[in-house]
Amino acid sequence: MSSQDILPEGKQEFTITVYTENQIGLLNRIAIIFTRRKINIDSLNTSPSEIDSIHRFTIVINETEDVVRKLARQIEKQVEVLKVYFHTNTDIIWQEMALYKVPADMIAEKAPVERLLRENGARAVVIRKDYIVFETTGHREETENLIKVLQPYGLIEFVRSARIAIIKDSEGFNAKLREFEQREPGEEVSENEYLNQRDKVFTM
Amino acid sequence: MEATQQEVLTAPEEQQAIELSGSAALLEALIIEGVSTIFGYPGGAIMPIYDALYDYKEKLNHILVRHEQGGIHAGQGYARSSGKVGVVFATSGPGATNLVTGLADAQIDSTPLVCITGQVFAHLLGTDAFQETDVINITTPVTKWNYQITDATEIPEVIAKAFYIARSGRPGPVLIDITKNAQIQKFAFKGYTPCHHIRSYRPKPIIRPKFIEQAAQVINEAKKPFILWGQGVILGKAEKEFTAFLKKSGIPAAWTIMGVGAIPTDHPQNVGMLGMHGNYGPNVLTNECDVLIAIGMRFDDRVTGRLDKYAKQAKVIHLDIDPAEIDKNVQTHVAVWGDCKETLPLLTQLIEEKQHTEWLEKFNDYARQENEALIDAELHPQTGEMTMGEVIDQLNQLTDGDAIVVTDVGQHQMVGCRYAKFNHTRSNITSGGLGTMGFALPAAIGAKFGAQQRTVVAVIGDGGFQMTIQELGTIMQSGVDVKILILNNRFLGMVRQWQELFNERRYSFVDIQSPDFVQVAKGYGIAGKTVTEREDLQSSLKEMLSNPGSFLLEVMVTKENNVFPMVPQGCSVSEIRLK
């Protein structure tokens, strides 16, 4: 049974992408929008975006589309938020990274290391006398699979990153900026200054 | 005044920098923003600002309140009566936390405020220093925006941003926390430029003509259209545009308690109040109309009752400046995003001129039924103890609907909103969304400072009055002229009503004793009297209104009177009870 099958009726995994100013406290403001509705955030990543000084949040939740749409509007309402998109898994390409620490002696003596790494698309990032750290990147099921495989060999520690995602079909936020640049070219203006004319860049 | 001040300024680069402290820069900024009145309470962490204020006494009128909660409610009353941004000062720690109720109230009722709180020195942040609280994180959920200043050079830009955010788009409260070192620090002040644009903030959504056309088409085809209007009409200063829309469309219109007063009470198309204690007709007919046109209102649960039985037969058109309000509670057929001051004229232009006489008459029929069953007895009782309704009715006759009425929260609030007459906009000031008891007395003080030429009457219950009774001291010291009308039923009336109707009269802790209010007022140098007999009511109200300064009038009303009609919680609006 996949994780999709056990979700309550109408709920599915959504990835919310939020473009924001790089501002202290904004993470809290965005998180509050979820917590006050008692919605659990499954994964949250913040990083710089393709545009200088603009940050990008990638938030994964399990909810109905109606709830996600309302949440997106509430997030977009925040002063320092520029744009919010939300997508189902079919609309995005996403990855999560995982690290696994296993005892070196167990692995060296018992595990078919080469096959194990190949089958799971993993690689060793640290090899020490006492332990080895492997890394994989992929979807949740893929990274979880390697846990099961490594468990019998005394998995010491496991950590998985938040999801990062790229939108499949849409050219997204950057395209809107580039379109605007072509339409109204400016002299020696940086991308950010185009954002100062938000009304012409964004539609809501 | 707020926007025109920029004309007297030169661009920062053309000005010679002058050395100012952060505190002085703040006060300069406030003056340029058109601020004349500040409500506040000093304390250790905001002392440098108060020290600077000593030199600005001529330009900035600071009202010393008796509690920070009183200060922020006064700021709200000021903003609501004047249409300007209310400004409030408080110190760090308890001073700042005492603002939280007012911030939440202002946030839910879209009231423009800029609150300035002092904060401990920047190097002490996060060390549990004396009177340190994490005010930014505490206030994040209840502010439109907040920001902590740790360096004086940030002050001009951040204050400009704060005022712009507070007053633009859907207004709201902004809190700026300034560390003590930033208040003291001197820097080269190069002038102040009001803010009119923030990259990541769009106060108004783009108006989309396609949807206005669709809305007009739906309205033109409607047989029984019905308008619900809220405070958005007042906040958008769109009263004229709304009146023009009403006139051309001929559609009956009902109001939320935040929207009342946008058109005069006696406007022929005004069919009354919506919601839990609203009028009979507008509630019942919500479930009969074919098109529901919501203007600047947010379908609060007190207005809609049960959502799954709310106007299911109607096509809903929703005009709102805040896109997040569209479809939040009620699914719309046509969403008209934008400032209703701009969208209403576009819509008016496209609609056909009509009279919905028969349909309007249906509302009048229900109004007659409500009158006979209930209103007549409430407003004109011949025997028994006085009712809240008759006090408000007498007040209407004496003020002729020209007063600002500030209500607290409870039965008297619903009675006040139902029966008070208004000829002018910005006349009804109440805590609508949060329902804050203790709101009215300080809000009335602020309202008077915001509209000094108008009569301000605070209508308060005996419970709510005791929540911020200390603000009588503010009245005493500032000499502000506020008429205080206490409707005393010796109960926490609204909870008692619910206990009577839904909890088998188990009156759990609603029997509240009060001090001798008149004596208390006297202690603060405020004149007052108590009325117990109907025959003294009118003359006493006259005495209150004609008294040269503040006056407290306590009217003893029926103990166990209920506010009807009522849509019981969990019921549909058409299940409204007259008794």
B17: helix, strand or coil: coil
B381: helix, strand or coil: coil
β-strand pairing of B225-229 with B291-295: parallel
Whether pLDDT at A187 is above 70? no
Using a CB–CB cutoff of 8 Å, tell me whether B162 touches chain A. Answer: no
Residues of chain A with CATH 3.30.70.1150: 94-160
Secondary structure (DSSP) of B38-105? EEE---GGGHHHHHHHGGGTTT-EEEE-SSHHHHHHHHHHHHHHHSS-EEEEE-STHHHHTTHHHHHH
Do the Cβ atoms of A80 and B201 come within 8 Å?
A: yes
- What's CA A61's distance to the chain center, in Å? 11
CB B417 within 8 A of CB B494: no
Determine the average pLDDT of the residues in A159-177.
81
Shortest CA gap B348–chain A (Å):
24
- pTM of the full predicted structure? 0.93
Instruction: Report the alpha-carbon distance of residue B413 to residue B391 in Å, rounded.
Output: 13
* Res. B7 pLDDT band, cuts 50 70 90: very low
Do the Cβ atoms of B324 and A69 come within 8 Å?
A: no
Q: Do domains B5-189 and B209-363 have the same CATH topology?
A: yes
- What's CA A113's distance to the chain center, in Å? 29
Using a CB–CB cutoff of 8 Å, tell me whether B327 touches chain A. Answer: yes
Interface residues from chain A to B (CB-CB < 8 Å): 20-21, 25, 28-29, 32, 36, 69-70, 73-74, 76-77, 79-82, 192, 195-196, 198-199, 202-204
CATH 3.30.70.1150 for domain A94-160: yes
Determine the average pLDDT of the residues in B133-159.
97
Q: How many CA atoms lie within 13 A of B433 on its CB side?
A: 19
Name the residue facing B140 among A25, A82, A192 (closest C-beta).
A25
Q: Report the mean per-residue pLDDT for chain B.
A: 95
Complex ipTM tops 0.85: yes
Identity of residue B109: D
Shortest CA gap B199–chain A (Å):
5
CB B23 within 8 A of CB B183: yes
CATH 3.40.50.300 for domain B209-363: no
Phi/psi region, residue B305 (left: phi>0; alpha: psi -120 to 50; beta: rest), is: left
Catalytic residues of B: 68, 130-131, 180, 494
- Contacts of residue B372, Cβ cutoff 8 Å, sequence gap at least 6: none
Do the Cβ atoms of B324 and A76 come within 8 Å?
A: yes
| Chain A residues near residue B206 by CB distance under 8 angstroms | 199, 203-204
**CA distance from start to end of chain B:** 50
Give the pLDDT confidence of A8-51 residue by residue, as tens digits: 678 999 999 999 998 889 999 999 999 999 999 999 999 998 88
What are B480's strand-pairing partners? Answer: none
- Please identify among residues 492-521 of chain B the ones whose CB lies closer than 8 Å to any CB of chain A: none
Whether pLDDT at A195 is above 60? no
Secondary structure (DSSP) of B220-245? HH-SSEEEEE-THHHHTT-HHHHHHH
Identity of residue B410: G
Instruction: Report the alpha-carbon distance of residue B113 to residue B72 in Å, rounded.
Output: 8
Strands (E), B216-314: 225-229, 253-255, 270-273, 291-295
Residues of chain A with CATH 3.30.70.260: 3-92+167-201
Whether pLDDT at B362 is above 50? yes
The CATH number of B5-189, from 3.50.50.60, 3.40.50.970, 3.40.50.2000, 1.10.274.10, is 3.40.50.970
Secondary structure (DSSP) of A120-171? HT-EEEEE-SSEEEEEEEE-HHHHHHHHHHHGGGT--EEEEPPPEEEESS--
Fold of B380-566: Rossmann fold (3.40.50)
pLDDT score at B393: 98
Instruction: Report the alpha-carbon distance of residue A29 to residue B57 in Å, rounded.
Output: 37
Q: Where are the domains of chain B?
A: 5-189, 209-363, 380-566
pLDDT score at B15: 61
Highest mean pLDDT pick, A6-10, A66-70, A169-173: A66-70
Query: What tokens were used for A25?
Result: 């406290």
Instruction: Report the alpha-carbon distance of residue B29 to residue B157 in Å, rounded.
Output: 9
**Of B243, B247, B263, nearest in space to B255 by CA:** B263
The CATH number of A3-92+167-201, from 3.30.70.360, 3.10.290.10, 3.30.70.260, 3.40.50.880, is 3.30.70.260
Instruction: Report the alpha-carbon distance of residue B5 to residue B98 in Å, rounded.
Output: 32
Do the Cβ atoms of A203 and B201 come within 8 Å?
A: no
Give the pLDDT confidence of B52-70 residue by residue, as tens digits: 999 999 999 999 999 999 9
Identity of residue A146: L
Residue of A nearest to B337 (CA): A204
Determine the average pLDDT of the residues in A108-127.
85
Instruction: Report the alpha-carbon distance of residue B109 to residue B113 in Å, rounded.
Output: 11
Identity of residue B81: S
A50: helix, strand or coil: coil
